[in-house]
Amino acid sequence: MTTPVAAHRPLIHHTGFWYFPVAFVARLPFAMMTVGVLALVVAMRGSVALGGLTSAAVGLGVVVAGPVLGDLADRFGQRRVLVPVGVANGILLAIFPLVVANAGADALLLSAAAAIGLTGPQTAAMSRSRVMALIGDRVDPARRERTFSRAMAYESAADETAFVIGPFVVGVLAALIAPWAPIAGAAVLSFVFVTAFALHPTGRAVPERSARAAMAPFRELVHPRMLVLVAAVFGVGLFFGSTLTSLTAFMEAQGAPEAGALLYGVMGVGSAVLALAVAALPVRFSLRWRLVAFSIVLTASAGAYTVGGSVATVTTVLCLMGIGVGPSLVTLFSLAGNRAPRGRTASTMTILASALTLAQALSSAVTGAVAESVSVQTAMLFPAVAALLVLAMAALNASAAPRWDAVTTAADTGVAAAHAAPGSTPSSR
């Protein structure tokens, strides 16, 4: 049972100082493997097309396995899932350079890449689940909402920072050592840090197996109140993938293709900073209206991006896009955390993460094909289309959220009363 003294202590007291650094580094294998696989296949096989297919196979594996791993973690605990998954992922990454070096059938290469995706450690989703459980169980009720907002802001900023640093590390290791070095580095990180994250004491914060009787049915995950958030996150993923690919094509037309990732980093870093700043917003600025406001900023700046122009103009617009996309992503995950069906927190977070990954992969492939076969200007329209999807889902959510959340709160109150037991605390909505 939560004691009054423990309840008034900050979240860092309940997680321990090393939790957040370990959880952040444990995200990097996931952020490195798609880009690392692409770079390795292109370097060793000399085929961009095959490299793209291999990278897509990794993404497909992640999307297929994500919801399954989340459901298993909700049922049996994160340790029992993450330890074998992290070890398997490390082994598959370690042997992947040998598979690429073998000039055998492409089917074997694609199968190995899909296996890497299937065992991709869903550290970010699991971290959100743990932090949410700790806040619900051990933080003083009067401080939960603000603590939750800050924690979700940090988690989203950590995700974006990892996805900026990951490709950068891949490029540095490949340039300074060899094309296989990024994959080897990701394997080591998966072995060490994913395992350390899995075994961290915060893993006990998630419900034990005996709590499965109180788990909401799977159909709650496909309720419209959840699907609208999945669709919005999918739109954010489309935005990320189309922006990176179209920006790369734009800079290639300027004669500096290597600068595309650097400029994308400008947006990513700004987005991460603004994501953290969301925690400072007043509570009366509700999540549903935050999503509308930030998606409007995103759509307007993405519209300006379609005009293109000079490198300086595009850089300025990218900064504005970061103002919209980072806070939008934080708000979406915060809404998902509030609405996560009973006992399905990890499932909810992995579904959203999988939607983000799938959208990035699809939009990267489509945008790249359009940039090459049609024009760069046409490809630069895609981020605006993605932003419009986010805005549409934000508007739908704003109109229906009062009804959806009222029903959810009433249902959870009834269940909490029926299942209340010593040591359990109803989650704050």
What's the mean pLDDT in 142-146? 74
Structural tokens at position 208: 């034990």
Q: What's the whole-number mean pLDDT along residues 248-271? A: 72
Most confident range (mean pLDDT) of 112-121, 396-405, 419-428 is 112-121
pLDDT single digits (tens) 331-356 = 888 888 778 787 777 778 778 888 88
Select from 93, 84, 94 the least CA-distant residue to 198.
84
Residue 234 has pLDDT above 60, yes or no: yes
Q: Above 90 in pLDDT, residue 383?
A: yes
pTM above 0.85, yes or no: no
CATH node for 17-208: 1.20.1250.20
Fold: same for 17-208 and 218-412: yes
What are the angstrom distances between the C-alpha of 194 and each of 28, 77, 199, 205, 299?
9, 15, 9, 17, 36
**Topology of the domain comprising 218-412:** Growth Hormone; Chain: A; (1.20.1250)
Contacts 24+ apart (CB under 8 A), 14-21: 14/134, 14/138, 14/139, 14/202, 14/205, 15/131, 15/134, 15/202, 16/200, 16/201, 16/202, 18/200, 19/200, 19/202, 20/154, 20/158
In this predicted model, what pLDDT tens digit does every residue of 145-178 receive, in sequence order?
A: 777 777 777 777 777 677 667 766 776 787 788 8
- Band (pLDDT 50/70/90 cuts) for residue 387 is very high
- Of residues 323 and 360, more confidence is placed in 323
Q: Say if residues 27 and 332 touch (Cβ distance below 8 Å).
A: no
**pLDDT tens profile 284-298:** 888 889 999 999 999
Give, for 332, the enclosing helix (H) or strand (E): helix 311-339
Domain range list for the chain = 17-208, 218-412
Cβ atoms within 10 Å, residue 63: 22
Tens digit of pLDDT for each residue in 15-67? 777 888 888 888 888 778 877 787 788 778 776 567 667 777 887 888 888 77
CA atoms of 128 and 81, how far apart (whole Å): 16
